[in-house]
Amino acid sequence: MPEGADECSREHTDAEQIRNLFSLYAFAYDQGEANKFAALFAEDGVFEIVDGPTVRGREALASMVTAAAARPGRTLHMVSNVRVTVMGDDAKGQAYVMLLLISEGSLRVVAMGTYDDTLVRAPSGWMLSRRRFKPDVGPDANGIPITWGAATDVSP
Average confidence score pLDDT of the chain: 86
Mean pLDDT of 135-155: 49
Determine contact, residues 75/109, Cβ cutoff 8 Å. Answer: no
Per-residue pLDDT band for 7 (boundaries 50, 70, 90) equals low
CB under 8 Å to 19, separation ≥6 — which residues? 82, 84
Q: How many helices (H) and strands (E) does the chain have?
A: 3, 6
Is pLDDT of 6 > 80?
no
- Model pLDDT, residue 2: 56
- If you average pLDDT over each of 52-56, 134-138, 147-151, which comes out highest? 52-56
pLDDT at residue 5 above 80?
no
SS (H, E, C) 102-141: EECCEEEEEEEEEEEEEEEEECCEEEEEEEEEEEEECECH
Q: Closest Cα to residue 58, out of 37, 89, 80?
A: 37
Domain boundaries, the chain: 5-73+86-97+113-135
Q: What is the CATH code of the structural domain delimited by 5-73+86-97+113-135?
A: 3.10.450.50
Considering the entire predicted model, what is its pTM? 0.82
**What is the arithmetic mean of pLDDT over 18-38?**
98
Percent of the chain predicted with pLDDT > 70: 81
